[in-house]
Structure 1
Amino acid sequence: MPYAELCHYEFTSGGREEVNEEKLRRWKREQALFMQRSPELFLNGDPWLGPNLSAESEYFSL
């Protein structure tokens, strides 16, 4: 059975937004802009989320 493990180290290079006020403000602006430009992703759900994945859980299922 094929198996893959993906690791994404979000804060490895950029640092955490919570510790730096400027980074936190920038992150909030970017988040608001993304939500403004793509409201359908928040209303209809992620169209690229595969049927074997869940937005609520980190575990996949068949």
Structure 2
Amino acid sequence: MEIVVDRSKCEGLGMCEAMAHEFFEVQDDGSMVVLDEQPGDEHRQTVSAAVDACPVLALALKG
């Protein structure tokens, strides 16, 4: 599984970080950093919930 970010949509709202802080981090400037772009399948439920929580649909999962 791979986390894909559409940077043109991301507004740094932090819903992903709130749902899965071990995979997403919003920086002071509002940019979002993916801490682990290819998490193991054991994290699928957590990462999927964080992706689904993005209000601007900037996140997706591949694989």
Whose relative contact order is higher, 1 or 2, with alpha carbons under 8 Å and at least 6 apart? 2
Larger Rg: 1
In proportion to residue count, which structure has more strand?
2
Q: Give the structure-1-normalised TM-score.
A: 0.24
